[in-house]
Structure 1
Amino acid sequence: MLFTQVIAAAILASLSLAAPTSSSGKNTTTTSTTSIASPPATPAPSSSTLSLTQQLFLADTAADRIALLPEDSQFVFDFGNPALKGKGGKGGDLIAANRKTFPALVGTGSGMAVGFLGPCGFNTPHVHPRGTELQIVTSGRLVTEMLPENGVFNNNAAADGRRLITNTVTTNQMTPFYQGSVHAQFNPDCTPATFVASFNSEDFGAGQVADELFAMSADVVSAAFGQAVDGADVAKFKGAIPATIAKGVEMCLKQCGIAKR
């Protein structure tokens, strides 16, 4: 019994020594906590540092977006504006209305372009990475070609190879170009042609196939052509690639008396 009392006294004494004391001499109990500093708050970007397109994206509601466009003229895009022309190529111009060039499109999921092709004007093979194009010819006519994608072949047993969809589209006729498909249009006549293209995207984009291919390293380009193009000649080919709207196919150039580049 005495031994048990001695042990109990020793335990009480150790607890008394371990307990912290306050300035008044009384025992106190503390709880250990880990304090985690909050990360510094990132200030919200000022509207003065954002483009109008960015502000429209951040607007809480459609009503708030419209309030950011106080002028009625901000809802009109002029494809005939002379300041937008002369930047395409020697064969014509392509004017695009997307959410950057025409901020009123933000939230609509739509975009549009108008092409002005001169005699023999050629909209070189290209793709739209983020939109399907519905193209209607509004004056003149266009010869169009489209390669949908890998794995689409001719159904005609007499024809070999990939399916190439070719049409001559006349005034007030329409044709689709699927998202990501390689396609091109050229004006086969000696008079101007115009087309309107609508897209199911505010930022449909475009990539010219030849320009993008020859932007790769010389070895890659040479290999892509089965070594038919020498690596040393890649720079020469790249320098000869025309702008978006080029002067078109040789037959049309001869017919219209237009000198080749």
Structure 2
Amino acid sequence: MVVALMAASTLALPSAPYPRSVTNTTTSASTTVTAVPAATNTGLSLTAQLFLADTAVDRFALLPENSDFVFDFGNPALKNKGGKGGDLIAANRKTFPALVGTGAGMAVGFLGPCGFNTPHVHPRSVELQIVTQGRLKTEMLPENGVFNNNNAADGRRLISNTINAFQMQPFYQGSVHTQFNPDCTNATFVASFTSEDFGTGQVADELFAMTSDVVSAAFGEAIDGADVAKFKSAIPTSIAEGVEQCLMTCGITKR
């Protein structure tokens, strides 16, 4: 199946009113905790202050508003920042400081018709992904040594599925995986992570960022070193509109 990749896009990250200076005192029946004032001359972000807090109780003092514990994935201001195919909104400890100390993160993906979340890895977390709208075609490649029928001669094992609404799939830490919306309607997924800083690396973008001779060696005779620059400019870094057949079915002009 031919894949038509669109222009480069970036992960949509929420902009929050941090860093901020906080001086707050919390009193209970048995203890009084005074948050260390945020030294504005040090330039510490709220996330950094939360990391440096002596106890979890001190961290709550640095988050005095109830709204500090709410993250709105549906905020229109966070959308339309990704590629042509949709948006990824990530809640990590930088974009949502209340996650500091939880060891968890989350992302929501909004994939338009034929939206393609290009092959990527999460270096510091497993991903548990559930589709909440539409369906997704998913593919995952585990680590070296995982073969079809446990036989190297049969090639690498590719785990490929169609995930419907309210079905879930795990993507293991460090595994190369991708999701594609094969339909002409929108698809939405929710992904939970076992890290506050799960990170993402788009495989093709990272590969073609290497020097030309390294890329040429990686592909053997498939790519000449002189052509590497052409490929670099064509590799998207996040969601891109994808497979040709879907574009034709949905009446989306291929570029």
TM-score category of the 2 structures, normalised to the smaller one: 0.7 to 0.9
Cα offset for 1:87? 1.6
Q: Return the alpha-carbon distance in structure 2 between the equivalents of residues 46 and 251 of structure 1.
A: 55
Which structure dedicates a bigger proportion of its chain to helix?
1
Q: Which amino acid counterpart does residue 158 of structure 2 have in structure 1?
A: L
1:126 paired residue number:
120
Aligned to 1:253: 247
Unaligned runs of at least 5 residues, structure 1? 1-44
Tell whether 2:51 aligns with 1:61: no
Alpha-carbon distance between aligned partners in 1 of 2:134 and 2:247, rounded to the nearest angstrom: 17
Segments of 5+ residues of structure 2 without an aligned counterpart are 1-36
SS at match of 2:130: strand
Q: CA RMSD in A?
A: 1.8
Counterpart among 85, 90, 95 of residue 96 in structure 1: 90
Q: Is 1:230 matched with 2:231?
A: no
**Whole-angstrom CA distance in 2 between matches of 1:212 and 1:114:** 23
1:147 & 1:228 partners in 2: Cα distance?
21
Aligned residues: 218
Percent identity among equivalent residues? 82
Q: What is the Cα deviation at residue 227 of structure 1? A: 3.0
Selected match of 1:47 from 23, 39, 47: 39
The answer to whether the 8 Å contact 1:142/1:169 transfers is: yes
Task: Indicate which of 109, 112, 125 corresponds to 2:106.
Answer: 112
Give, in whole Å, the separation in 1 of the partners of 2:163 and 2:48: 38
Contact persistence 1:137–1:170 (CA under 8 A): yes
Which one has the largest radius of gyration? Answer: 1
Letter matched to residue 159 of structure 2: I
- Asked whether 1:81 is paired with 2:64, we answer no
Alpha-carbon offset, residue 47 of structure 1: 2.9
Q: Report the Cα offset of residue 244 of structure 1.
A: 0.4
Cα offset for 1:128?
0.1
- 1:88/1:243 contact within 8 Å kept: no
Task: State the Cα deviation string for residues 172-228 of structure 1 (Å, max 9, x = none).
Answer: 000000000000000000000000000000000000000000000011101100031
Map of 1:166 onto structure 2: 160
| In structure 1, distance between residues paired with 2:214 and 2:237 | 22
Secondary structure in 1 matching 2:216: helix
| Higher RCO (CA 8 Å, separation ≥ 6 residues) | 2
The one-letter code of the counterpart of 2:39 is S
Partner of 1:28: none
Query: Tell me, what secondary structure is at the counterpart of 1:65?
Result: helix
The TM-score with structure 2 as length reference comes to 0.82
**Equivalents in 2 of 1:156, 1:249: separation in Å?**
30
Task: Give SS of 1:175's match.
Answer: strand
Partner Cα separation in structure 1 for residue 194 and residue 93 of structure 2? 12
More divergent stretch after superposition (248-257 vs 67-76) = 248-257
Give me the whole-angstrom Cα distance separating, in 1, the residues matched to 2:38 and 2:97.
Answer: 19
Is contact 1:129–1:206 with CA below 8 Å preserved after alignment?
yes
Q: Distance in 2 between matches of 1:76 and 1:240?
A: 37
